[in-house]
Structure 1
Amino acid sequence: MEDAAGRPGQRIDRWLWCARFSKSRSLAVALVQSGRMRVNGARISKASRNLHPGDVLTFPLGPHIRVIEVVSLGLRRGPASEAQTLYRDLEPPAPSGKPEATGEAAAGRTTGTGRPTKRERRQTDALKESR
């Protein structure tokens, strides 16, 4: 589709589906109609809004706020590797909370973090038997 200036464009709900930000077009429509989607800083609520290469999208997706620049328009919903060529992520990657990722050594489990390991269970059994 082209706009009045002759630039190629695509409906935002279809682009979100092609770029694999939503599992279906109806979920993409619901995301846009929620009123939390911004295109180039302007809040939108209509799924019929056309996107053009160079537009910047800001929207919540799960626990994160995504900031995406549209690089190209999608012709089909292909594999994830093809979908990643449609956009550029402008948000820097957040450091994960895992100790291995931050370079800290795992000091052991903290209290209340689930089932004990086999080693911890054996230590508990040995402590109970020594009483």
Structure 2
Amino acid sequence: MRVDKWLWHARFLKTRSLAAKHVGAEGVRINGTRTVKPAANVRAGDVLVFPLGPHVRTIKVIALGERRGPAPEAQALYEDLAPPPPRAPAAPDAPPRRDPGAGRPTGRDRRALDKLRGEPGAE
């Protein structure tokens, strides 16, 4: 199958013509060999490396699609080999985060905390 058609089937690009332009302009590495031809063949088991937006995607072709179907069907066509993006560290001036589900304390919780701290006016 043509690499531009496969990129379109796998939903990396919105249209096949955009996929062809992307391959022609940016180039794609198929098993380490750079190609700028949209008609280059791709088979199951090939590894594709191509720039997409600010990231470089590393994809292993699992299957060739019969059609451009819904997203879950398209995601079954490939395996993403790139490591997950690193988590951004929290800003030093950001407020501390609560535990999930902790939420805001109720009035009853606040009174119990005041009593525990021994603050005046707590009964």
What do you get for the CA RMSD once the two structures are aligned? 1.7
- The match for 1:107 is 94
Query: Which of 3, 6, 9 in structure 2 is aligned with 1:15?
Result: 6
Query: Which of 51, 66, 70 in structure 1 is aligned with 2:42?
Result: 51
Query: Residue 96 of structure 1 aligns to which amino acid in structure 2?
Result: R
Quote the offset at 1:37 in angstroms.
1.1
Distance in 2 of aligned mates of 1:29 and 1:81: 23
With the length of structure 2 as denominator, give the TM-score of the two structures: 0.71
Question: What is the percentage of aligned positions where both structures have the same residue?
Answer: 54
Question: What stretches of structure 1 of length at least 5 have no aligned partner?
Answer: 1-9, 109-131
Query: Which of 18, 26, 35 in structure 1 is aligned with 2:17?
Result: 26
Query: Which of 85, 93, 102 in structure 2 is aligned with 1:94?
Result: 85
Query: Residue 64 of structure 2 aligns to which amino acid in structure 1?
Result: L
Query: Which of 33, 37, 41 in structure 1 is aligned with 2:28?
Result: 37
- How big is each residue's C-alpha offset from its partner over 1:38-65, in whole Å with a ceiling of 9 and x where there is no partner? 1001010111111100000000001000
With the length of structure 1 as denominator, give the TM-score of the two structures: 0.67
Quote the offset at 1:90 in angstroms.
0.4
Quote the offset at 1:22 in angstroms.
0.4
SS in 1 for 2:76: helix
Residue-pair matches, total: 95
Question: What stretches of structure 2 of length at least 5 have no aligned partner?
Answer: 96-123
Q: Does 1:69 align with 2:60?
A: yes
The answer (yes or no) to whether the contact 1:68–1:89 under 8 Å persists in 2 is yes
The answer (yes or no) to whether the contact 1:35–1:44 under 8 Å persists in 2 is no
Q: Which of 19-28 and 31-40 deviates more?
A: 31-40
Quote the offset at 1:31 in angstroms.
1.1
Higher Cα Rg: structure 1 or 2? 2
